[in-house]
Structure 1
Amino acid sequence: MFAIGSVVFAISLPNIYKSEALLAPAHTESSGGMGALAGQFGGLASLAGINLSGGGGIDKTTMAMEVMKSREFVGKFVQQHDLLVPLMAAKGWNVTRNELEIDADLYDANTSAWVREPNPPRGAAPSEQEAYKEFSDIFSVSQDKQTSLVKVSVEHYSPHVAKLWVEWLILAINEEMKRRDLEEAQRSIAYLERQIAQTRVAEMQAILYQLIEEQSKTMMFAEVRDEYAFKTVDPAIAPELKAKPGRALICVLGTMLGGMLSIMIVLIRYFTRKED
């Protein structure tokens, strides 16, 4: 019974496809310039209350990876590309028509409305927290410590959807990190210009002008490069083979579990009757 049940269960599971891309960190030159200025003029700048060292902190690659896994980034990504239905209501993929199969108990495609049973405090439509949890289960980003290469992957019922989402994720994180650095550089330039207007020390003004030059380089670098945080080494593809489930393993484990339970039941019944 367990063997037959495990076979039926394994066959009923839909295929899951995994698409992944290999990325290389795209380093900027601005941090090196700032470090050189800090070593050269740090003592003089400290007299004016300006910190050039920048302190510690994590590198840009680690920051970009953590941003990709953050609730804010995932929420914006799902909303921008309208992924709530394929993320939360899909139950399979029709290979012939190349279409996602939508669970009618969760979402009515005819009326474009969520029809699942509300479970307060959650309503019929999935919340942003639900979408984040579901997306985190199918999305992965990791870095090889030896090569520093980053792997981004997405699992989905459709191999084409998985490939598309990986491509969108790479574009989104590059745009997000570019936006953050541009805003930071603009704020820094505005601050430095205010400091120049307030100081009359020629050496101090020279430092501030060099800092503005470094921030201008950052802005120029961000404007001219599309692959700002990561460069694509191996792009995502639509996989032909499924990543899971492992149906053979499920059948073997189900049969073994049934065998062990059967032996336990037989032994228990044997010793129980013997005592009687």
Structure 2
Amino acid sequence: MSLATFVMVLVAAMLHAAWNLAMKDSGDRLVAAWAIMGVGGLASVPVLAALGPPPSAALGWLGVSVCIHVGYALALARAYELTDLAVAYPVARGTAPLLVTIGGVTLLGDSIAPLGVVGVVVVSAALMSMMRRGSLAGYRWAVLTGLFIAGYTLSDGAGVRAGDDAIRYIAVLFVLQTLVLSVVVLRMRGSGAMAAAVRAQPLRLTLAGLGGVTAYLLVLIASRTSPLGLVSGLRETSTAFGALGGYLFLGESVTPKHAAAIAAAIVGALLILAGS
């Protein structure tokens, strides 16, 4: 992983934390997730119209990924409804890197130096240590969210490599994801709730959506040339940014334990850079 890729994924982590904060701070987390992802879908339409679809080799992976991304949105919204950001976010993001590392090596032929593996383990352990007490149901939905994260990271990584294109891939992904999620949320919440959410926070949801699609584009660009486990481990440092954002904007406390975990996650990120 080059220094430029390292910085790119860190920027993606910060943007990811920002849109999760916006989602958690909304009245209806599922509708907020739909609106945020819908902004990415709308922004992708002109890109798709100008560049066209990705190569056919990526289309199968796209179909798999759309289903996983919709499941991820539903699970994440439920986790945020049942427990705090400080519980759900570390569990979900800390679960994924080790699974992605194993999947990337065994399924996609990634090669990771031992120091890089140590960095991924340190990041995951640091994130999981940031958990606070929460409801058992909240933990379960957060773990399920982590499984979805691992699934779409692997399928999207395989898709951008198969098609050798990140921009057209993510444009189709966000358009299809928006269409499917719109149908699901319409049935679950109704058009009135969807319209009310957009009217209540139009600027925040728009900025969060643009941040979300930009963050994932940066991740997919990095995934074309870097081992998925390293990209995933580094991206999940977003939890540290999320803890800081929760303290600044949601009134959640940051304990010495959180500060130590954030420091450990930074060490793990540096190990990923040194071992790549």
With normalisation by structure 1, the TM-score equals 0.27
Q: Which has the higher contact order (CA 8 A, sep 6+)?
A: 2
